Structure 1
Amino acid sequence: MLTSCEVNNLDPQTALSETTAFQTPERIALAVAGVYDGGQSGFYAGNAVRGYTFGAAHIEQGDMRGEDMALAATFYGITYQNNYDPTQPNNVYYWQNAYAMINRANIVIAGLKTVQPSTALTQAQIDVYEAECRLLRAMAHHYLLVNFSRPYSDNPTAAAGGVPYRTTAVTGGASVDEALKQGRNTVAECYDKIIEDLNYAEEKLPDTRTGNLKITRATKGAAIALKTRVRLHQNNWAEVIKEANKLVSTAAPFTSPVGAYALTASPLGAFGSANKSNSESIFSMENNDVDNAGTNGAMAAMYSAVSTNGRGIVLISPILWNQPFFPAGDLRKAASAIAQDTPGSAGKGGNFTRKYPDVTTRSENAPIIRYAEVLLNLAEAIARTSTGVDTRALALLSAVRNRAVQTPADQYTAASFATNKDLVRAIINERRPEFLAEGLRWHDIHRLAQDADFKQADGIPSKAAIAISNFAPLYTNNSTTTFTREPAVPYSDFRFLWPIPAEELINNPTLAKQQNPGY
């Protein structure tokens, strides 16, 4: 069944079967919207909205797998302390919801093949619908790879190292039997299919849309931007540059010829009241006041301080706060960007982001990719392929950094770097404060895990301990500050990856033989 929703109104609509969903243009539009709903809702335990695959939960899980956000409660303790197993909710429901959404996409794609074009629904619009589904399908498979498979740099052609890349609709009967025969693709095969889907999306999607749909419905710019991320995970610097150059001008000010994307003047200009309408957000997952991840999942609930009526669960870690590349005068540390709690009745103390301030209706869209990421992706790829300190790479880095770091002494110049490797390191470092509380930290830890020069740790980094009773004194702007930490997990440890859920292994005899080692 396709549980559908209006494009601009996420109130659930009547469920449509795959045999009736493609009989009218209106029903087809609802079916496509239902694929987005599958990415936004992401149910927990069957009925509680949490935001797997692309909603709130994916952001929180991405942060809790890394060290730049800390945990002031035990709410995400299993992920934060790396104690998952094949039955634990977060990895189980991520897998289930991701593949449920993928199957929705595949059902819609198959249904679209049966539709005869008309004046009410042209072939071009049918192609756009398919492109949207293929973009979402590609994203879901990529996120599954980042959590359940080793990075591309680690033997991408190893048998059954990736995830099952599903492109066929499973609707019952023979399709179920066929699906149960499909095991894990190689990582390389998965990436090839991801790029194939995103290439189709780029070709068929509109350059832009109007209103909130410019951000919450797939566009050509979103497909290109996601390709820069995927190619970065492949260490394919030439392809990152080729794709990013479609969106980034050769010199500052950097404004995209596709979609007119541009950095906002403020480092938090894509958040708060501007979350649904700004020049920087390329693609986000829609939430609203009647359909969001609730008090147990929404970003505003989890990331906001108790002092601002949030739950005070996930705060900025002193590990990130005290890094030299995150100076005291950085506007991302200013009162306009940070809310503070005091220990005691207001939680454990510490600094919380103001990126998601709507604690009342919890309506903020979940960010997927911003123009700032495209600029830093391009900067890294250029710097990695340069023999010296490349001026364009430096300009791209500075465009992102200098809107937050406005003191000249803290800004970078060519003299700041002796080699191109030093510049690459600064670009990777800049991603950490720029994308804090957006779930991207794990992506970088994962893709760089085997990088000889820039791996972030030997596996999963150590993190600020949940047991810390008062975080407030730990924000010293001094990287030598010590405090209790959760232990690191080596890359060789089986816990670097999430396990395939036990239920999947029971139901799928092929995957039962392909569980991640150690589980």
Structure 2
Amino acid sequence: MKNIKYILLLIIGMSLFSCSDFLNEDPYYVVTTDNAINSLAKARAAVGSSYATLEGDAWGGGLYVAQASKSGFVNWRLADFEMSYSQLDNAPGVANYWKAFYTTLNRANFAIYGIPRLDDSLVQDEVERDALLAEARCLRAWAHINILWNFGHWWADDNDEFGLLYHDEMSDLSNIVKGRLNVGDSYKYIYEDLDFAIENLKSYSSPKYISVEFAKALKAKILLYRGAYNNVNDVPALTEALGLVNEVLSSSAAGLGMSPILKDVYDQSWNSTENLFANYLGDYSAGKRGPASGEYYRKIVIENGDNSTAGLNYGVDLFKADPRWNVVTGNTWGNSGKVLSWSKVARVTSFASGGTYEDYASYYFRYPELYIMKAELLARTGASVSDAIAPINTMRSKRTSPVLSALNPTTSEELMDAIFYEYFFETFLENGSEFFASLRFHKNGSQWIETIKGEGLLENKLCWPIPDEEMITNELMKQNPDLN
């Protein structure tokens, strides 16, 4: 009886729409396959409801703080830093992340189910219908890859059995008990969704929504993460990724590109021209951000931060020497007053201190990362040192404030170090890039994550355990090894 109650509560929680300020339509009906999508307006609203789920720690502060802790750069979450979690002793929030990812997935599947079944007589624009379906499928891929990156063996060979708990339909009592895909099939289905999205999505128009540019960047990132894991290069995969990155960089989409002033990127939050996709968290009555998703950034960064290091456990001297340090860090409010913290993702002032909240967003992908990825992909597919560093120098030259001088590595080791540090300096705390980079790049023959932490890595601990609730209710579910 306990298990049935849990399943029912999970389905109800995954089925109800929540409000989202950025939607023009009101799609707030119960998500069931009996409630058909019967107009393009409802199709748009169904897709929009998936965006409405991209909130909370799973899609922002908590997740990226956890990944930064795993990398060793900070030790804000001890269980993640030590990778000491297990099924019965989870790191904070792990079960909530699992539920949040599958909530987004369930919403996307509702749209994917309904849009192709929309009566042809109600569709005057097939391109629009295909674009909406592509948007939903890209959101499904986005949910699935986050599940695989955090709860599966994303780095492993195709036949590894610890892949996705894959859902391509609405969850109900008839399909909630199922087994996992192997890793190869997990990627296969994710790529199928992304390939459809790349074929049918519209070009970038707003960072609040999925675009063909984001779909290409996401597929390139997935290919890179797996294809270069532990410095073992899958050249065909990396070559495909390089082609996708080049396509996005050559895109002429209006309003997308580098911002000359780095401070503007964070002041403008989700509206920055650098965002291929960012989490729009809504305007509160005062026109500023509210306390929901960003609160986790603030609490972790401030309360466990050091007033001279902003909480960095490693790389302080390197980052302080970089001109970006004084832009991405600054004074934020802690319990005992102002402390130095990561102002690019944390509040600058506090209502409790008589101030106002600043806008913030979760940065899923910013334009500068394209240049850094291109440099890495060139390096891993045989380019010379000078050719490989060139994209990063192009990116740095586009900043007028702060001014970033050109990098001039002369050896392959210096090149790879420079690329690794650029991920750290430019994307730290934004989307987990520093964590995944710490697994791809090597220093003195070891993965950077081992160099940073000063100890060896138990590979199976890279992902979190499947939450206890899922293991109890799903008899076909297999737990990740070494995480029981």
> What TM bracket, shorter-length normalisation?
0.7 to 0.9
Please report the RMSD computed on the Cα atoms of aligned residues, expressed in angstroms. Answer: 3.4
2: CA distance, partners of 1:344 / 1:58: 23
Aligned to 1:517: 482
Match of 1:279 among 251, 260, 273: 273
For residues 341 and 106 of structure 1, the distance between their equivalents in structure 2, rounded to whole angstroms, comes to: 40
The one-character-per-residue Cα deviations of 1:331-385 (angstroms, maximum 9, x if unpaired) are 2122x442147999337x5443344446544642211001111111111111122
- Structure 2 counterpart of 1:422: 414
Write the distance in 2 (CA, Å) between the matches of 1:287 and 1:230: 25
User: Measured at CA, do residues 350 and 286 of structure 1 come closer, stay the same or move farther in structure 2, by a change above 3 Å?
Assistant: closer
Greater displacement, 76-85 / 233-242: 76-85
Indicate the residue corresponding to 2:117 in structure 1: 114
Please say if residues 148 and 164 of structure 2, whose CA atoms lie closer than 8 Å, have aligned partners that are also in contact: yes
Which deviates further from its counterpart, 95-104 or 10-19? 10-19
* Distance in 2 between residues matched to 1:151 and 1:425, nearest whole Å: 24
Cα 1:495–1:449 change in 2 (3 A) is farther
1:104 matched residue in structure 2: 107
CA distance in 2 between partners of 1:451 and 1:186 (Å): 31
Does the 8 A contact of 2:123 with 2:129 survive in 1? Answer: no
1:51 aligns with 2:17: no
Taking the TM superposition and a 5 Å limit, the aligned residue runs for 1:194-205 are 194-205=190-201
- Structure 1 residue 202, shift from structure 2 partner: 1.2
Cα distance, 1:449–1:426 mapped onto 2, change above 3 Å: closer
Cα deviations by residue, 1:276-335 (Å, 9 ceiling, x for unpaired): 3232110111101349783675366347758xxx999x9441522212xx462x32122x
Q: For 1:427, give the aligned amino acid.
A: I
CA distance in 1 between counterparts of 2:246 and 2:184 reads 24
Q: 1:431 to 1:422 in 2, by over 3 A?
A: same
Kindly tell me: are residues 259 and 202 of structure 1, through their superposed partners in 2, closer, same or farther at Cα, counting changes over 3 Å?
A: farther
Distance 1:422 1:384 in 2: 14
Per the alignment, in what secondary structure is the counterpart of residue 145 of structure 1?
A: helix
Q: Quick check: 1:445–1:455 contact (8 Å CA) kept in 2? A: no
1:233 aligns with 2:229: no
Partner of 2:73: 68
Opposite residue 418 of structure 1, the aligned amino acid is: T
Q: For residues 242 and 407 of structure 1, what CA distance do their matches in structure 2 show? A: 27
Are 2:317 and 1:322 aligned?
yes
What is aligned with 2:232? Answer: none
The equivalent residue for 2:96 is 93
1:192 counterpart = 2:188: yes
What residue is the counterpart of 1:257 in the other structure? Answer: 252
Cα drift, residue 224 of structure 1: 0.8
Task: Kindly state the Cα deviation for residue 32 of structure 1 after the two structures are TM-superposed.
Answer: 1.4
Normalised by the length of structure 1, the TM-score is: 0.76
1:373 aligns with 2:388: no
Aligned length: 445
Summarize deviations over 1:112-163 as a string: whole Å, max 9, x none: 12111346663222222221121111122212222223342xx412331212
Q: Which residue of the partner structure matches residue 301 of structure 1?
A: 298
When normalised by structure 2's length, the TM-score is: 0.81
How has the CA–CA distance of structure 1 residues 364 and 227 changed in structure 2, closer, same or farther, with 3 Å as cutoff? same
Aligned twin of 2:230: none
Equivalent position SS for 2:342: strand
Q: Which runs of 5+ in 2 are unaligned?
A: 1-14, 228-236, 350-355
Q: Secondary structure at the match of 1:282?
A: strand
**Kept in 2: contact 1:294–1:362 (CA 8 A):** no
Matched, 1:396 2:391: yes
User: Quick check: 1:106–1:168 contact (8 Å CA) kept in 2?
Assistant: yes
**C-alpha deviation, 1:226, in angstroms:** 0.8
Q: In structure 2, do the counterparts of structure 1 residues 303 and 509 end up closer, same or farther at CA, with 3 Å as the change threshold? A: closer
* Local SS of the residue matching 2:71: coil
Matches within 5 A, 1:76-155: 76-87=77-88, 88=90, 89-118=92-121, 122-152=125-155, 155=156
Normalized per residue, the structure richer in helix is 2
Q: State the 1:515 CA deviation.
A: 3.5
Q: Hey, what's the Cα distance between the residues in 2 that align with 1:149 and 1:93?
A: 16
Residue segments in structure 1 that go unaligned for 5+ positions in a row: 42-49, 250-255, 463-487
Deviation, structure 1 residue 228: 1.5
> What is residue 16 of structure 1 aligned with on the other side?
30
CA distance in 1, matches of 2:366, 2:216: 12
1:503 is displaced (CA, Å) by 0.9
